[in-house]
């Protein structure tokens, strides 16, 4: 069953899946060997909905699974590139391109902060994503240096 | 010969009766029942999005939605999200760079599209 103290820090029993879903960009700055990062939330450029919106983790024994289905609709001004969007495996989020063809998307379109965040270790959460499926969108494997 | 004629007439009557029965069943079915429709065809649904989406998309592989795309209409007057396209799902590769891969999967959305990601969480 749900253990809110599994990793030494308390996690909320009610998992708000709407809050898990964020789309945005990273601002990455560097100065010599140091760097700084901040994020810009761009959720106002999308309409989203998650079903269910909230899950009571106590209802799911360890080892059991549940499915979260979301809808994402980019608004007309959403064309662009985003460093994070839908949560991915094992943690973090998939980069996202809106309004561009597969051949127009390359590594230069994304912030270096995206690489930094993907190299970051994962937090020990009381749940993990085991599979992500999509309908209606494409994906492309991009090499980042 | 008379028996043959009677058999043909009886068969026709049964066929007509069966057709009428199916037509009645189809026309009296509640409008909020999930319908699949051919790809590209738009069908308006009066019931709420959550119910339809749950029926159509949250089930596992093999459900009708996985095999046959469904499109719902958008309410432009209220500017609400009442449209989605739940076509065939495919699994997005996970980020394998921690295992030495230098590539990252990037999701690509079209303008004015409605896309449906779903995650299996354990």
Residue of A nearest to B114 (CA): A73
My answer on whether B108 and B88 are in the same domain is yes
**Total of domains in chain B:** 2
pTM of the model: 0.67
DSSP string, A51-100: ESSEEEGGGS-TT--EEEEEEEEE-GGG-EEESB-SB-SSSSB--EEES-
Print the domain residue range for A93: 14-119
My answer on whether B9 and B49 are in the same domain is no
Q: pLDDT tens digits, residue range A85-120? A: 998 888 889 999 999 999 999 999 999 998 888 888
**Total of domains in chain A:** 1
My answer on whether B26 and B65 are in the same domain is no
Residue of B nearest to A79 (CA): B111
Q: Would residue A125 count as lying in a domain?
A: no
Query: Does residue A14 or residue B21 have the better pLDDT?
Result: A14
**If pLDDT is split at 50, 70 and 90, which confidence band does A6 have?**
low
Residues of chain A above pLDDT 70, percent: 92
B40 reaches A (C-beta below 8 A)? no
Q: Would residue B68 count as lying in a domain?
A: yes
Please give the ipTM for the structure prediction.
0.89
Q: pLDDT tens digits, residue range B62-110? A: 333 443 344 444 444 444 444 455 666 778 877 766 666 678 889 999 8
Whether B44 shows a pLDDT value over 50: the answer reads: no
Q: Would residue B122 count as lying in a domain?
A: no
My answer on whether B23 and B51 are in the same domain is no
Print the domain residue range for B5: 1-30
Q: Could you say which of B49, B90, B117 has the minimum Cβ distance to residue A70?
A: B117
Residue of B nearest to A133 (CA): B91
My answer on whether B38 and B76 are in the same domain is yes
Q: Would residue B49 count as lying in a domain?
A: yes
The CA distances from residue A140 to A84, A96, A143, B108, in Å, are: 15, 10, 10, 7
My answer on whether B23 and B40 are in the same domain is no
My answer on whether B6 and B66 are in the same domain is no
My answer on whether B44 and B94 are in the same domain is yes
| Structure-token pair, residue B108 | 């690509």
Residue with tokens 């989203």: A48
**Can you give the pLDDT at residue A66?**
85
Residues of chain A above pLDDT 90, percent: 29
**If pLDDT is split at 50, 70 and 90, which confidence band does A79 have?**
very high
Partner-chain contact B91 A143, CB within 8 Å: no
My answer on whether B36 and B25 are in the same domain is no
My answer on whether B12 and B67 are in the same domain is no
The mean pLDDT value of chain A amounts to 85
Cα A7 from chain centroid (whole Å): 21
Q: Would residue A3 count as lying in a domain?
A: no
Whether A65 shows a pLDDT value over 70: the answer reads: yes
B15-36 burial, b at 16+ Cβ within 10 Å, e below that, comes to: eeeeeeeeeeeeeeeeeeebee
Q: Would residue B87 count as lying in a domain?
A: yes
Q: Could you say which of A74, A89, A134 has the minimum Cβ distance to residue B117?
A: A134
B26 reaches A (C-beta below 8 A)? no
Q: Would residue B18 count as lying in a domain?
A: yes
Contacts of B26 (CB under 8 A, 6+ apart): none
A41-72 burial, b at 16+ Cβ within 10 Å, e below that, comes to: ebeebbbbbbbbeebebeebeeeeebbbbbbb
Partner-chain contact B120 A65, CB within 8 Å: yes
The mean pLDDT value of chain B amounts to 56
Question: Which residues in chain A have Cβ-Cβ distances shorter than 8 Å to B71?
Answer: none
8 Å CB contact between A92 and A100: no
Residues of chain B above pLDDT 90, percent: 3
| Structure-token pair, residue B121 | 């969480």
**Can you give the pLDDT at residue B107?**
92
Query: Does residue A141 or residue B118 have the better pLDDT?
Result: A141
Q: Could you say which of A73, A92, A118 has the minimum Cβ distance to residue B114?
A: A73
Whether A58 shows a pLDDT value over 90: the answer reads: no
Lowest mean pLDDT among A40-44, A80-84, A118-122, B77-81: B77-81
Chains A, B: CB contacts within 8 A come to 198
């Amino acid at each position: 069953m749900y253990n809110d103290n599994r990793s030494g820090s308390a996690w909320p029993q009610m998992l708000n899946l709407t809050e898990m879903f964020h789309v945005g960009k990273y601002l990455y700055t560097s100065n010599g060997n140091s760097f700084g990062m901040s994020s810009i939330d761009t959720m106002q450029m999308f309409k989203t909905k998650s079903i269910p919106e909230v899950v009571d983790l106590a209802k799911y024994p360890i080892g059991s699974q549940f499915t979260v289905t979301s809808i994402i609709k980019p608004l007309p001004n959403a064309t662009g590139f985003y460093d994070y969007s839908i949560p991915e495996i094992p943690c973090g989020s998939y980069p996202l391109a809106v309004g561009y063809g597969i051949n127009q998307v390359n590594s230069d379109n994304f912030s270096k902060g995206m690489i930094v965040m993907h190299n970051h270790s994962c937090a020990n959460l009381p749940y993990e994503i085991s599979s992500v499926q999509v309908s209606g969108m494409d994906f492309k494997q991009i090499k980042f240096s | 010969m008379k028996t043959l004629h009677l058999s043909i007439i009886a068969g026709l009557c049964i066929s007509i009766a069966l057709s009428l029965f199916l037509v009645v069943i189809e026309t009296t079915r509640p409008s909020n029942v999930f319908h699949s429709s051919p790809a590209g065809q738009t069908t308006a649904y009066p019931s709420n999005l959550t119910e339809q989406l749950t029926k159509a998309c949250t089930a596992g592989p093999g459900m009708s939605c996985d095999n046959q795309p469904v499109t719902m209409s958008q309410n432009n007057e209220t500017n609400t999200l009442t449209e989605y396209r739940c076509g065939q799902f495919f699994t997005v590769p996970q980020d394998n760079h921690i295992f030495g891969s230098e590539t990252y999967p990037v999701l690509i959305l079209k303008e004015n599209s409605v896309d449906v990601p779903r995650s299996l969480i354990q």
